[in-house]
Amino acid sequence: MDAEATQDVDSKRAKTTVGPVILFGPPGAGKGTQAKKIAEIFGIPQISTGDILRENVSKGTPLGHMAKVVMDRGELVPDELVYGMVSDRLGKEDCNRGCILDGFPRTIPQAEWLDRYMEGRLFDKVGARKMPPIVIQVKVEYNSLLQRLTGRRSCPNCGRIYNVHYQPPCVEGICDLDGSNLVLRPDDREEVIAERLRAYDRQTLPLVNYYQKSGRLRTVNGDQPVDVVTAEILRAIENGDRL
Ligand code: AP5
Ligand code: MG
């Protein structure tokens, strides 16, 4: 594609009604990395329940106090704790053209809750069409997940995600964008990672079946370079007969 054609595609994407896109996959699959890129491409927000919970933890809110204990063990916080924060976030005006849900839903009750919530929000395209969520499962091999999680570092200020093995910052331990000291997530310790992966298998994987039944599931191979995965996700969104 020449530069002019690329610009046309970019400006079309920035105006498109995308509707809700759910990115789901195990811890370390690259949901956050991809959600940030896709959100920027379409100019719609990334909604990460993990990030919102961590923000509550760092601000010391009552929700943060309740969530911290559970997150530090690598378990999922109770469904009821996430509904309020998700509906607050989805109700904001910047979600009008759509949003990228990163880490929500991750249980069957959460998926059912979201379906009920979405019934009242049609994301009409040219005034007529209901847009149910597009669900993208990012699949990654177990050993890559472990490497990715133990090597992850993130910027506490801008949220940019790095990896000491795969996407290191220019200067070790320092964010390229704002110079902050990079941090390790408390739940990226090996014993907690094992529990997070178990929780994923037990509580989140059943969503494959849930979304397959309604024909909404697309699968992407997340074991590829970041830009290749992004291109596959874009294809899954744009060829999903919705845009
Ligand atoms: P959350 O923050 O959602 O964590 P998670 O699901 O465990 O996923 P991660 O954020 O660890 O991984 P990711 O897929 O975003 O990968 P990333 O892009 O960072 O949840 C944390 C906790 O909050 C949960 O355990 C639970 O307690 C609670 N919670 C959250 N939502 C909840 C909900 N809905 N209900 C109940 N509880 C909830 O990438 C990982 C690393 O890999 C990075 O270093 C990155 O640089 C690298 N990487 C990414 N892509 C590639 C690639 N293609 N090649 C090489 N390296 C890559
Ligand atoms: Mg994440």
Instruction: Compute the distance between CA of residue 192 and CA of residue 66 in angstroms, rounded to an integer.
Output: 18
| For residue 150, pLDDT beyond 90 | yes
Q: What is the average pLDDT value for the chain, to the nearest integer?
A: 91
Q: What pLDDT does 118 receive?
A: 86
State pLDDT tens for residues 199-231: 999 999 999 999 999 888 999 999 999 999 999
pTM: 0.93
| For residue 62, pLDDT beyond 80 | yes
Which is catalytic among the residues 36, 97, 125, 185? 185
Query: What is the percentage of the chain residues whose pLDDT exceeds 90?
Result: 79
Distance (angstroms) between ligand 1 centre and the Cα of 3 equals: 34
State pLDDT tens for residues 74-120: 999 999 999 999 999 998 999 988 999 999 999 999 999 999 888 86
Q: What pLDDT does 130 receive?
A: 64
Give the binding-site residues of ligand 1, using a 6 Å CB cut-off.
25, 27-33, 49-50, 53, 70-71, 74-77, 82, 103-104, 106, 110, 148, 151-152, 161-163, 166-167, 187, 196, 222, 225-226, 229
DSSP state of 135: E
Instruction: Compute the distance between CA of residue 9 and CA of residue 6 in angstroms, rounded to an integer.
Output: 5
| For residue 125, pLDDT beyond 70 | no
- 97 labelled catalytic: no
Q: Centre a 10 Å sphere on the Cβ of residue 81 and count the other Cβ atoms it contains.
A: 16
Which is catalytic among the residues 37, 54, 89, 106? 106
Q: What pLDDT does 225 receive?
A: 97
For a substitution probing ligand 1, which of 22, 33, 54, 75 has the most ligand atoms within 8 Å of its CB? 33
Q: What pLDDT does 214 receive?
A: 86
| Alpha helices in the chain, H assignment, sequence order | 3-13, 31-42, 49-59, 62-73, 79-90, 108-119, 142-151, 190-199, 206-213, 226-238
- 37 labelled catalytic: no
- Per-residue confidence at 128, pLDDT binned at 50, 70, 90? very low
Ligand nearest to the CA of 229: 1
- Per-residue confidence at 126, pLDDT binned at 50, 70, 90? very low
Q: What pLDDT does 70 receive?
A: 97
Ligand nearest to the CA of 31: 1
Distance (angstroms) between ligand 1 centre and the Cα of 30 equals: 6
